[in-house]
């Protein structure tokens, strides 16, 4: 009996984890040590904002066992491209204005992946979800909060979004779904069960204070995400 979704994703495979909003080298190292597949830094404003030099120090050099992500806001496209090249990033996550053309340009000029963020309100996806997903091969689902680009801790309506997410998968076969928004160790299993994301993305849900990750919460989050393999509907 298969456990694949309509998109072909095998639900028995472990869901990957991204620890985002990192501001300290020790937190990034610990995230990798306990099994995170992605580590992320913020260059989109807010209390976790890092400079290029701090992002380089926190994320470290490119390596085979983890992918390094920077979250951008409304920076000029040329600045995004230069930062991706300067830091030799694996992925550029775009929280600000994003278009198919900007995704194509970043991918062409850097050879790196782009994760456009869909800011979700209610139980429907933005009208450009299919176009952006097809251009990038992946989308991040995060809560729409007026005046904030991310890291809000606001949870999405996972049950209400199931039909919309499955329709996106059918429209863009093979698309990777990265689920963000209010995740924490105590709710990530339910989120995975309902939406079957490829990656779960957490920041404030594993912090002891803003920008400071709690090592125990990080371990609990990674363990919970791993334990959810095969539980998705």
Query: What's the pTM?
Result: 0.93
Q: What is the number of domains present in the chain? A: 1
> What residue spans of the chain are helical by DSSP H?
25-33, 52-59, 77-87, 100-110, 129-136, 158-171, 188-195, 215-227
Q: At what angle do helices 77-87 and 52-59 cross, to 10 degrees?
A: 40
Per-residue pLDDT of 29-73, as tens digits, reads 999 999 999 999 999 888 999 999 999 999 999 999 999 999 999
In a domain? residue 2:
no
Report the share of the chain in percent with pLDDT over 90.
83
Tell me the CA end-to-end span of the chain in Å, nearest whole number: 14
Retrieve residue 163's tokens: 């039909």
Retrieve residue 124's tokens: 């429907």
In a domain? residue 5:
no
Across 173-198, average pLDDT: 97
In a domain? residue 232:
no
Distance CA 185, CA 72 (A): 26
Angle at 225 between CA 21 and CA 28, to 5 degrees: 30
In a domain? residue 233:
no
In a domain? residue 4:
no
Per-residue pLDDT of 155-183, as tens digits, reads 999 999 999 999 999 999 999 999 999 99
Distance CA 2, CA 194 (A): 17
Per-residue pLDDT of 111-154, as tens digits, reads 999 999 999 999 999 999 999 999 999 999 999 776 666 667 78
Domain of residue 208, CATH code = 3.20.20.70
> What residue spans of 60-172 are helical by DSSP H?
77-87, 100-110, 129-136, 158-171
**Bridge-partner residues for 38, per DSSP?**
18, 67
In a domain? residue 10:
no
**Chain Cα centroid distance, residue 202:** 8
In a domain? residue 3:
no
Distance CA 185, CA 158 (A): 16
Residue with tokens 């472990």: 14
Q: Domain containing 23: what range?
A: 16-227
Task: Provide the CB-side half-sphere exposure for 154 (13 A, CA).
Answer: 16
Across 87-100, average pLDDT: 95
In a domain? residue 204:
yes
């Amino acid at each position: 009996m298969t456990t694949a979704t309509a998109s072909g994703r095998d639900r028995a495979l472990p869901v990957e984890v991204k620890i985002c909003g990192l501001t300290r080298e020790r937190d990034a190292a610990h995230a990798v040590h306990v099994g995170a597949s992605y580590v992320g830094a913020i260059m989109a404003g807010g209390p976790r904002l890092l400079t290029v030099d701090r992002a380089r120090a926190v994320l470290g050099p490119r390596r085979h066992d983890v992918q390094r992500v920077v979250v951008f806001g409304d920076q000029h496209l040329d600045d995004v491209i230069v930062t991706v090249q300067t830091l030799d990033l694996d992925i550029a996550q775009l929280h600000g204005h994003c278009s198919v053309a900007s995704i194509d340009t970043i991918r062409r000029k850097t050879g790196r992946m782009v994760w456009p963020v869909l800011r979700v309100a209610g139980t429907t996806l933005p009208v450009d979800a299919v176009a952006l997903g097809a251009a990038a091969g992946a989308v991040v689902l995060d809560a729409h909060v007026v005046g904030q680009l991310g890291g809000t801790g606001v949870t999405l309506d996972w049950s209400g979004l199931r039909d919309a997410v499955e329709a996106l998968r059918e429209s863009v076969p093979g698309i990777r779904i990265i689920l963000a928004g209010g995740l924490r160790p105590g709710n990530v299993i339910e989120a995975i069960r309902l939406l079957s994301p490829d990656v779960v993305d957490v920041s404030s849900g594993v912090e002891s204070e803003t920008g400071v990750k709690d090592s125990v919460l990080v371990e609990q989050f990674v363990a919970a995400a791993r334990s959810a393999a095969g539980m998705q509907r």
